[in-house]
Structure 1
Amino acid sequence: MAARKLRPYFQAYTIKVLTDQPLRQVLHRPDTSGKLVKWAVELSEFDIQYLPRQAIKAQVLADFVVECTIHQQSIESEVAQTPIAENATTTGERTEAETKPGRTEDISVPAEQNPSSKEPLWEVYVAGSSNKVGYGAGLILTGLDNFVLDYALRFGFRASNNEAEYEALIAGINLVVQTSAQRLKAYCDSQLVANQIQEVYEARDECMIKYLSKVRQLASKFKNFEVIRIPRTKNAKADVLSKLAASGYTTLMSICMEFLKKSSIEN
């Protein structure tokens, strides 16, 4: 499809295909037949080089840590350079301008300010998938400087849709915890998960109680944590990632994928 849609580029340039699959051997086997023969003939007119694709997970995580660390240092430097005179005066202290009679202008600074409002806000979209093929979860993490991370999880254990949703949420929270962020807003399309965390629904199932306890334990590490339920149409990308993770097709995509041997609530 790429060769057909981008034919002018394929004809004008040498195309380097990065893949972890033996495409060259498959297309040039002597016993190739059917559609593979058609594709091999069609692609033979182009100058295509097949190169091994290196592992990208470590590089993505390294970039993730570097971007967050730089931003955190810049925040600390800004705080350190803030003049002391700009800080709020302590209770009972008044400047000369405040005590002059007849002055109506209020130049006092509130004694209490909300520092969390200046903290960077991280957002994560999560979705879980449970079907006959397998079990998985997907999440989209957005943060500082338009940073976006696509993350997929494939489970080595059986999980219901709600359990998969909780696993996705826990994985997203754990990623943000590593950045030392203080504000997190999570979006999910599961009515049960969102309402249980918001205490609209009561968790009665033993497994749901454990998952809810795990989420609250992780949420306590933030100054501001919120879970919002959104329609599935607004969570399409995370939903697709979860289905791909459940089917195992994410090995063909340039996204981070993790394999969980056991659930997050197991000891």
Structure 2
Amino acid sequence: MPWQIHSDGSAVPNPGRMGLGAVWTAPDGTRHTLSQVAPGTGCNNEAEVRALMAALQALQLQGADDLRLHCDNSVVVEQISNPSAKPIARLATLFDEARALFNTFHQATLVWIPQHRNAEADALARAALGMTAPRTFKIAKKRR
């Protein structure tokens, strides 16, 4: 069974300070979280890839080798998963580093998910910057 990872990054303002968030579950069900400020400033895409890299580095230390990563940023998923993706000049080196780190794992899959399915990682990224996101809940109305 693979480790399940959700990562997210936030830049405030964009570009600005970067918060990194990730939550992962080990095959035995143990949950771990990461919430930290990245050094320097950057854009949302940079924050997203740095969050993914921080999670991958932590998972390496835990001896993980079979991963299923979830990310709500389609640019990050495309750049990491598709070696023939057109590089983004300003972030090319960072994406190269992330891709190399990603490829050190025996089995790793990176999938795009919609933003609403990544709420916990997003909250951790925002919390690193001292932000708390208001929680909104949809209440289904009964039809008569």
TM bucket by the smaller chain? Answer: 0.7 to 0.9
Shift of 1:240: 1.0
Match of 1:162 in 2: 45
Shift of 1:216: 1.9
Match of 1:245 in 2: 128
Match of 1:64 in 2: none
Q: Is the 8 A contact 1:134 1:247 kept in 2?
A: no
1:217 aligns with 2:100: yes
SS at match of 1:153: strand
Shift of 1:198: 2.0
Q: Determine what percentage of the aligned residue pairs are the same residue.
A: 26
SS at match of 2:105: coil
1:128 aligns with 2:9: yes
1:151-230 matched pairs, under 5 angstroms = 151-199=34-82, 201-206=85-90, 208-230=91-113
Counterparts of 1:157 and 1:216, CA distance in 2: 21
Deviations 1:155-200 (A, max 9, x none): 2310110000011000110111112222111111001111111227
- Greater RCO, 1 or 2 (C-alpha within 8 Å, sep 6+): 2
Q: Which amino acid aligns with 1:161?
A: N
Shift of 1:229: 0.6
**Larger Rg belongs to:** 1
Q: Which amino acid aligns with 1:121?
A: P
User: When the two structures are superposed, what TM-score results if normalisation uses the length of structure 2?
Assistant: 0.81
Shift of 1:204: 2.9
Deviations 1:9-65 (A, max 9, x none): xxxxxxxxxxxxxxxxxxxxxxxxxxxxxxxxxxxxxxxxxxxxxxxxxxxxxxxxx
Q: Which amino acid aligns with 1:165?
A: E
Counterparts of 2:127 and 2:7, CA distance in 1: 14
SS at match of 2:28: helix
What RMSD, in angstroms, separates the aligned Cα atoms of the two structures? 1.8
Q: Which amino acid aligns with 2:88?
A: R
Shift of 1:248: 6.6
Counterparts of 1:154 and 1:204, CA distance in 2: 23
Counterparts of 1:239 and 1:173, CA distance in 2: 17
User: Where is the strand percentage greater, Structure 1 or Structure 2?
Assistant: 2
Q: Is the 8 A contact 1:155 1:246 kept in 2?
A: no
Unaligned 5+ runs, structure 2: 133-144
Q: Is the 8 A contact 1:192 1:201 kept in 2?
A: no
Shift of 1:225: 1.1
1:144-155 matched pairs, under 5 angstroms = 144-155=27-38
Q: Is the 8 A contact 1:154 1:248 kept in 2?
A: no
Q: Which amino acid aligns with 1:202?
A: K
Unaligned 5+ runs, structure 1: 1-119, 250-267
SS at match of 2:41: coil
User: Where is the helix percentage greater, Structure 1 or Structure 2?
Assistant: 1
Shift of 1:121: 1.2
